[in-house]
């Protein structure tokens, strides 16, 4: 299925039913009286986060969602049936915006979470509502109110603890294949992932975290070049970024330090908050570097980048160093869980 992370839809709540004009006609009630019932309320429209849906592709096919109208009232003070509420399933991690106003309506981050996006119209009043001492036979009723109609922007932001950051062919897809059951496409030539991939990394009993492989960034991604801008937003929910750097690029003239700086620039352009998030350096493809040159090359890259955070040397292809990396990530996530004091 094609990955779709943005969609525009129209939602329309049901209209309220009209109130009834009716009078009692009973044998032993000589004066009768008004008994028109109220109309039923229109149905509401809700968005409901649902596990198992990982794309907004369905909204490219069906773009309009309407709840049922309320039914009109009837005699004998019978209220019309209210329209059924409509529940539209969306992926967990969907952000909902009002297209016309730009207002953020909600963020569905948990399975089963619901968001009211269009309220149904109230049912009209029947004529029994208007009887009084001076108006014993009212012939007045009111129509139901129209339901809300909204144009919505849906954006999907992946829910992951750890995001992989780096240029195309840095080895992010190979790394996520090595440490999880995710199976993104990989190739032995310059190639970039086209769709974000999620993988669950299991470190031990009841110890796991979710890793996201984000398509590679290129120069100008924050301005819309390539796929970077479209997918940078998926990193916004992550608690830790792993900056994967290729120690053995296909082009020998390519400088890994220049590549790392380019990615860091695009990150800052997109979001200063995201650029300030905890970021670790992961030097990948150590299996392709001469063992006698490995230490010198790694130290030189860290020195030139003036990188102060944790640095890991791994090979996504052979698995070397990946276990130590995952254990360190798990320890960091445990120590920095939301609401937990790191000093405890």
Those residues of the chain that have pLDDT short of 70 are 1-4, 29-30, 54, 181-196, 215-231, 233-234, 338-344
pLDDT of residue 251: 78
Helical H segments across the chain, by residue range: 172-179, 228-232, 256-270, 272-275, 291-305, 322-335
Single pTM value for the model = 0.65
- C-alpha angle 201/202/203, rounded to 5°? 115
pLDDT of residue 44: 97
pLDDT of residue 24: 83
Count CA atoms within 13 Å of residue 299 on its CB side.
Answer: 5
Virtual CA dihedral for 201, 204, 209, 211, nearest 10 degrees?
-20
For the chain, which residues make up each domain, given as ranges?
6-156, 162-335
Alpha-carbon distance of 172 to 179, in angstroms, equals 11
pLDDT of residue 163: 85
Alpha-carbon distance of 230 to 317, in angstroms, equals 28
Alpha-carbon distance of 40 to 32, in angstroms, equals 24
pLDDT of residue 236: 75
pLDDT of residue 231: 61
Picking from 278, 306, 287, 237, the residue whose alpha carbon sits closest to that of residue 93 is 237
According to CATH, the topology of domain 162-335 is: Rossmann fold (3.40.50)
Enter the CATH code of domain 6-156. 2.70.210.12
pLDDT of residue 137: 84
pLDDT of residue 51: 81
Provide the edge-to-edge strand list for the sheet that holds 240-246.
197-204, 207-213, 162-165, 240-246, 279-284, 311-313
Q: Are 229 and 37 in contact (CB under 8 A)?
A: no
Alpha-carbon distance of 177 to 327, in angstroms, equals 16
pLDDT of residue 182: 56
């Amino acid at each position: 299925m094609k990955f779709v992370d943005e969609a525009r839809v129209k939602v329309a709540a049901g209209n309220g039913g009209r109130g009834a004009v009716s009078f009692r006609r009973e044998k032993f009630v000589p004066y009768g009286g008004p008994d028109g019932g109220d109309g039923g309320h229109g149905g509401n429209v809700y968005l409901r986060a649902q596990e198992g849906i990982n794309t907004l592709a369905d909204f490219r096919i069906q773009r309009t969602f309407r709840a049922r109208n309320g039914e009109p009232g009837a005699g004998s003070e019978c209220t019309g049936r209210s329209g059924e509420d409509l529940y539209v399933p969306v992926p967990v991690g969907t952000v909902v915006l009002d297209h016309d106003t730009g207002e953020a309506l909600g963020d569905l981050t948990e399975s089963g979470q619901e968001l009211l996006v269009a309220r149904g119209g109230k049912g009209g009043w029947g004529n029994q509502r208007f009887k009084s001492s001076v108006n014993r036979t009212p012939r007045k009723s009111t129509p139901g109110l129209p339901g809300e109609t909204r144009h919505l922007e849906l954006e999907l932001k992946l829910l992951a603890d750890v995001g992989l950051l780096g240029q195309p062919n840095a080895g992010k897809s190979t790394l996520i294949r090595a440490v999880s059951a995710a199976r993104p496409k990989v190739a032995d030539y310059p190639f970039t992932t086209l769709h974000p991939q999620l993988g669950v990394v299991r470190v031990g009993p009841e110890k796991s975290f979710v890793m996201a492989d984000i398509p590679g960034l290129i120069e100008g991604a924050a301005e819309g070049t390539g796929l970077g801008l479209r997918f940078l937003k998926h990193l916004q929910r992550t608690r830790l970024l792993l900056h994967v750097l290729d120690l053995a690029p296909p082009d020998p003239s390519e400088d890994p330090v220049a590549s790392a700086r380019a990615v860091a620039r695009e990150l800052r352009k997109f979001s200063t908050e995201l650029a300030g998030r905890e970021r670790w350096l992961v030097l990948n493809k150590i299996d392709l570097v001469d063992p006698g040159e490995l230490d010198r090359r790694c130290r030189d890259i860290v020195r030139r980048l003036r990188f102060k955070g944790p640095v890991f040397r791994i090979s996504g292809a052979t698995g070397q160093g990946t276990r130590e990396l995952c254990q360190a990530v798990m320890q960091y996530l445990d120590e920095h869980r939301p609401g937990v004091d790191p000093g405890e």
